[in-house]
Amino acid sequence: MCAIVGFNTKNSDTLSKMLKSIQHRGPDDSGVYESEEFSLGHVRLSIVDLSSHGHQPMIFENLVMVYNGEVYNFKEIRQELKSLRYTFHSQTDSEVVLKAYHKWGIKAVDKFIGMFAIAIYDKVSGDLTLIRDRVGVKPLYYYHKEDEFIFGSELRPILTCKEDLTICKDALYEFFQFGYISSNLSIFENCFKVPAGHYLRFNTKTSELKIAKYWSILPFFQKSKSKKSEKELVDELEELLIDACKLTMVSDVPVGVFLSGGIDSSIVAAILQKHYGNIHTFTIGFKEAKYNEAIYAKEVAQHLKTTHNEKYLSVDEAKEILLKFVDIYDEPFGDSSGIPTTLVSRIAKDAGMKVVLSADGGDEIFCGYERYWYTKKIGEKIFKLPRFIRKAISLSMDIVGVNLASKFIKVRNFEHKYNQLSEMFKDDNWQGIYEKLIHNAKNYEIKELLGVVKNIDEKSFSIGERENPMQGMMLWDYHRYMVDDILTKVDRATMSVSIEGRVPLLDHRIAEFMAQVPFKYKYRDGTSKYLLRKVLERYIPKELIERPKMGFGIPMFEWFSADLRELFESNFTSDRLTHKLLNESYLQKEFQKLKDNRALNINKLWFVLVFQMWYKRYMR
């Protein structure tokens, strides 16, 4: 794993500062390429071919490349290139990526299985090409305004050379709505992410910028569904999973697996232990039973006979990460499970691991989130009512108002639930219902906080919905929540301790296969991840994995009630809100609820706290 930076001019001091800002992503080596037209920089975390032959930037004829990621099947591609009379001086996948691009251009990416953020500069044409992997495992940001172009693996290096960046209001809205910033937006104007499955081309001579898609999961959903039997589908899925997991073990350094004891992490650990062997597994435990998955992970590890590493998390350790949260996440990020993810990464690092596998992507591909069937159940009840009745109910609720209704109905957090239901009755489609249920803050709250309400346009929902509303929800998450929350969390957490995170379940071949599997094999008779469970039953007894899904969280607000209150106090003062981006009176009203121990959406205040801490760290 590495990090890459670049910009369309020559400035050695700036390049040095950019690399220093992301040195945690690549502490083993660094290198630069400089010309009057373009500068490129690279920091390296040595994983494959630990020798100096893996040094970047790497140059071949007219091409200069910096690259972050792993192409797991590089040995097969190298053999093909050798047959075409290419020669190689290293055992790295980097050299294969560069020469594959030399031979096939952008079409080379069709051959790659892996995760990657690639930058290739053509000294003759003046084209810089940025390529991000199909799913978006590896981050890739860029700044573009008029004839100025800058890119980096994180926002941090862009911040080192741009001091006049302003907050993007659309991104701010998404953060407070979902807790992360999705799509190609970033927190800053003129700063964007290269979308997953896309490549960007910037010409240094004309300053022309083009972005094009090279892969999408959606066409595979539009193909005819498989007619194979259940056993045939289970066999084929198992074969794909074995190959994907074994490919991610390509490494010249130790590899470990994050194990929660759930279905996804258990299948990764089970397959690797059987087909590879000597697997190290890592988990975090909590004294609070409702958060503690360690007991389940230990049972799975004992059954599989992995070398298991378990640590129970202390409040002091978590508090340390809490105070460094915005140092790890250089963009506002509200998922508090980034704290245990960082800590389990530390455990793996201390045990000598340089690569860890996480089982992310299983919920979005195989149908695992409880909110999918919960939303469907609610939506079916709402849509049974004729449209005019739904509108009348919503109008009546607006007229009555939450204050009057609360005098007759005594329910915890009544204001939040009342307004949410009123909003849902206004919706005419499944996407609207789903978004209302996963919003952290409801439309009326966002309007009070930011003064605006915005609609999110996610076209993939309707494609999945043609088969089942839950498939639409899965595709919504696949393109937004998975990429910009889950994968961002794992990337920053692992990179904060200089280890590489890999995600075998996000092998694009698995996603393409499951897109063509009928929905009844994803969710059947109340059983989620139906097909994946059938594979897992071949490795682990059913009773070890038949339990409610817990998620990966910490007892944050139980642990930090006093500490958070102090942080809220210091960050919600008038002098800390001079940016005028948030409604101060609304925040003080919500904070008073916390001080009075009244019911409120505590996550909403956590998001505000994260933003305030981030603003202080990066904007002043």
Mean pLDDT across the chain:
90
Q: Which of 156-160, 463-467, 594-598 has the lowest mean pLDDT?
A: 594-598
Q: What is the pTM of this model?
A: 0.93
Checking if the pLDDT of 59 tops 80, the result is yes
CATH level 3 topology of 2-215: Glutamine Phosphoribosylpyrophosphate, subunit 1, domain 1 (3.60.20)
Mean of pLDDT values over 399-405: 77
Q: Which of 28-37, 301-310, 351-360, 450-459 has the lowest mean pLDDT?
A: 450-459
What is the model's pLDDT at position 330? 92
In terms of C-beta density within 10 A (0-12 exposed, 13-18 middle, 19 or more buried), how is residue 518 classed? middle
**CA triple 336-21-503, angle to 5 deg:** 50
What tokens does 188 get?
């800053």
Span 520-567, pLDDT tens digits: 999 999 999 999 999 999 999 988 887 766 655 666 666 666 677 788
**Using omega within 30 degrees of 0 as the cis cutoff, is the peptide bond preceding 386 cis?**
no
Instruction: Count CA atoms within 13 Å of residue 44 on its CB side.
Output: 22
Checking if the pLDDT of 34 tops 70, the result is yes
Q: Write the Ramachandran bin of 428: left for phi over 0, alpha for psi from -120 to 50, otherwise beta.
A: alpha
Tell me the pairing of strands 127-132 and 148-152: unpaired
- Select which of 2, 161, 168, 367 is catalytic: 2
What is the model's pLDDT at position 96? 97
What is the model's pLDDT at position 593? 79
Span 90-149, pLDDT tens digits: 889 999 999 999 999 999 999 999 999 999 999 999 999 999 999 999 999 999 999 999
Q: How far apart are CA 579 and CA 249, in angstroms?
A: 47
Q: What is the largest CA-CA distance in the chain?
A: 81
Which stretch, 162-171, 505-514, 603-612, has highest mean pLDDT?
505-514
3-class DSSP assignment, residue 84: coil
Tell me the pairing of strands 280-285 and 307-312: parallel
What is the model's pLDDT at position 367? 97
Span 273-288, pLDDT tens digits: 998 888 999 998 877 7
What is the model's pLDDT at position 549? 63
Span 188-240, pLDDT tens digits: 999 999 999 999 999 999 999 999 999 999 999 999 999 999 999 999 999 99
Q: How far apart are CA 131 and CA 213, in angstroms?
A: 10
Residue-range domain boundaries for the chain: 2-215, 219-368+481-545, 370-475, 560-619
Q: Could you tell me which of 242, 233, 231, 236 has the C-alpha nearest to residue 539?
A: 242
What is the model's pLDDT at position 480? 96
Compute, in degrees rounded to 10, the torsion defined by CA atoms 150, 154, 156, 157: -40
Mean of pLDDT values over 56-71: 94
Span 41-56, pLDDT tens digits: 999 866 555 667 778 8
CA 110 to chain centre: 22
Domains 2-215 and 219-368+481-545 share a fold: no
What is the model's pLDDT at position 1? 56
What kind of architecture, by CATH, is found in domain 219-368+481-545?
Answer: 3-Layer(aba) Sandwich (3.40)
Q: Is 2 a catalytic residue?
A: yes
Which band of pLDDT confidence, cut at 50, 70 and 90, is reported for residue 407?
Answer: low
Checking if the pLDDT of 594 tops 90, the result is no
AA identity, residue 265: S
Residue 80: partners with Cβ closer than 8 Å, 6 or more residues away:
111
Instruction: Give the whole-number percent of the chain exceeding pLDDT 90.
Output: 65
What is the model's pLDDT at position 47? 59
Instruction: Give the whole-number percent of the chain exceeding pLDDT 70.
Output: 94
